[in-house]
Amino acid sequence: MTPDATHTEAAPQDGGDGSIKIIGRAVAVLRALAGEREGLSLSQLAERTGLPRSTIHRLVSALEVEGVLVAASATGRVRIGPELVRWAEAGRPEIRSLLRPAMEHLAQTLKETVDLAVLESGRLRITDSIEGRHTLRAVSVVGSSLPLHCTANGKAVLAKLSDAEVARLLPARLARLTPATITRRAALLEELREVRRTGVAFDLEESTPGVCAVAIAAQDAYGTLAALSVPVPAIRFHGREQDIVASLNAAREQVSTVPPVDTLPESGAHDAPPAS
């Protein structure tokens, strides 16, 4: 195949402008393919990037050899390959490390246990926890799974999703773990609408007798959904709700991946948890 006269791929010996242009063109191809799960043909790539089809052919062939692109169909369409995904995952910071400073500040301010739970494959898993300083305190087990429908962290995460996505994640039957557990889907969806409005979710002894909790959701740049929660023995919780909510909202400001302060509801919207 004859190289295009205006788009030479030959890199100069000193690694100068020619090499930079090749990298730029390769990046243009990858950007054009971003989000295209069914892939694109060479002609479509040429149209989107403004590069000659011969240039696209050479770039695609080289990227396929490296596993950065793979065939998406028998008709010549290509898409992003697993090697590029692996590189992206390798450079991805854990949400735990991003939220740890906010957790530590919360724990120091409230002297209560602070948990981080992450939504993974439809399950909520505790990935980090800082124990409270009180003799009587809530204790969470890192690595354990939590129900979504009756925990503050679960409701905070569910409120970030659409009702259709919530329906797909929830089990056919909402298990009753305590007398206060919500088991009616309509009631849960109504509460999630309130969580979306206020940005704060509550667990009023709905998952564990004698333990209440407040939580906010967070999301990293890769779409990972997580929740910061403060579980507190019920005997020490009532009357402190506003202090806990205020501390969580302050923590929200520390985390750049959650909505900025000017998009948050007025603090008066968080004066009290929903009626049990």
Can you give the pLDDT at residue 242?
A: 93
**216-224: average pLDDT:** 83
Residue 94 has pLDDT above 60, yes or no: yes
- Please report the pLDDT score of residue 82 as a whole number: 77
- How many other C-beta atoms can be found within 10 angstroms of the C-beta atom of residue 217? 26
Sign of the torsion formed by the C-alpha atoms of 178, 180, 182 and 184:
positive
Q: Above pLDDT 90, what percent of the chain? A: 54
Torsion of CA 126, 131, 135, 138, to 10 degrees: -20
Please give the pLDDT value at position 257: 46
Q: What percent of the chain shows pLDDT beyond 70?
A: 83
Residue 272 has pLDDT above 70, yes or no: no
Q: What is the pLDDT of residue 13?
A: 46
Q: Closest Cα partner for 115 from 209, 206, 248?
A: 248
Q: Are 206 and 229 in contact (CB under 8 A)?
A: no
For the chain, where are the alpha helices, taking DSSP H only? 17-33, 42-49, 53-65, 82-90, 95-110, 152-158, 163-169, 185-198, 234-237, 241-254
The mean pLDDT value of the chain amounts to: 83
The mean per-residue pLDDT over the stretch 143-170 comes to 94
Q: Measure the CA–CA gap between 185 and 174, rounded to whole angstroms.
A: 8
User: What does the pLDDT average to over 227-236?
Assistant: 95
For the entire predicted model, the pTM comes to 0.63
Provide the sign of the torsion angle of the four alpha carbons 255, 258, 260, 261, taken in this order.
negative
C-alpha 163/C-alpha 193 separation (Å) is 9
